[in-house]
């Protein structure tokens, strides 16, 4: 098992995230480099607004941009940075986020799952995503969720292994919808009871 931690993003930890973004990593697995550049611009122009939306259970943050360029209202959520404790201050390893709807309502169709994660390429295959997901599940329980849905691409074997290692069960293949180019996806469910 790796020395993986979840850390609340803070200005003190920002250099690790910034360095990863500058190397081309993005927490947005769909929009990739475009999203990385947008985040760097946001951190340069208004870092306080970024840190205010890290824990956003009231969904007060700015709208979310979808891959087709449309914007949708933000839903409640939180973000944590995945940290490799073995690397100390240089341990930034990625990002994981949790999204939910009030009173356990279903996610809107444009939100593909409750949890999304992305590990920097130079820290992959070390167990960080598997451990980060395990560490995030108690936070989902704290939000009153009895189960979470996580989606991935059919060809993303690594992500599928992360999900199943945490008790995920394949629910269905599905079409991600127009905003995501009608690409195929796989929907998994992890029961939290």
pLDDT digits (tens, 9 = 90+) for 101-157: 987 789 999 999 999 999 999 999 999 999 999 999 999 999 999 999 999 999 999
Over range 12-37, report the average pLDDT.
88
Helix (H) or strand (E) holding 161: helix 157-165
Per mean pLDDT, which of 22-26, 29-33, 132-136 is the most reliable?
132-136
Task: Say what the pLDDT of residue 53 is.
Answer: 80
pLDDT band at 33 (very low <50, low <70, confident <90, very high): confident
**Residue 47: other Cβ atoms inside 10 A:** 13
Angstrom distances, CA of residue 54 to CA of 11, 43, 59, 61, 121 = 12, 13, 10, 9, 23
Task: Say what the pLDDT of residue 165 is.
Answer: 98
Q: Is the pLDDT of residue 43 over 60?
A: yes
Task: Say what the pLDDT of residue 152 is.
Answer: 97
| CATH number listed for the domain at residues 4-191 | 3.40.630.30
pLDDT digits (tens, 9 = 90+) for 48-106: 888 888 889 999 888 988 888 899 999 999 999 999 998 877 899 999 999 999 877 89
Q: Is the pLDDT of residue 1 over 70?
A: no
Is the C-alpha dihedral spanning 182, 108, 170, 97 positive or negative? positive
Whether 163 and 188 have beta carbons less than 8 Å apart is answered as yes
Task: Say what the pLDDT of residue 35 is.
Answer: 83
Over range 37-44, report the average pLDDT.
87
Residue ranges of domains in the chain: 4-191
Task: Say what the pLDDT of residue 2 is.
Answer: 54
> What 3-state DSSP class applies to 116?
strand
3-state helix, strand, coil in the chain (%, to 5): 35, 25, 35
């Amino acid at each position: 098992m790796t020395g993986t931690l979840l850390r609340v993003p803070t200005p003190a930890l920002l250099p690790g995230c910034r360095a990863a973004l500058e190397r081309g990593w993005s927490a947005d697995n769909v929009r990739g480099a475009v999203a990385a550049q947008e985040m760097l611009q946001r951190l340069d122009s208004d870092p306080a607004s970024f840190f205010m939306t890290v824990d956003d259970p009231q969904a007060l943050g700015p709208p979310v941009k979808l891959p087709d360029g449309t914007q949708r209202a933000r839903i409640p959520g939180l973000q944590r940075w995945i940290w490799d404790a073995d690397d100390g201050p240089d341990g930034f390893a990625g990002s994981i986020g949790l999204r939910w709807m009030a009173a356990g309502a279903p996610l809107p169709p444009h939100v593909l799952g409750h949890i999304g994660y992305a590990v920097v390429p130079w820290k992959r295959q070390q167990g960080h995503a598997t451990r980060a997901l395990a560490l995030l599940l108690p936070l989902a329980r704290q939000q009153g969720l009895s189960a979470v849905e996580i989606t991935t691409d059919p060809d993303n074997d690594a992500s599928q292994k992360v999900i199943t290692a945490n008790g995920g069960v394949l629910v269905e293949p599905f079409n991600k919808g127009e905003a995501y180019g009608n690409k195929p996806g796989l929907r998994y469910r992890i029961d939290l009871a």
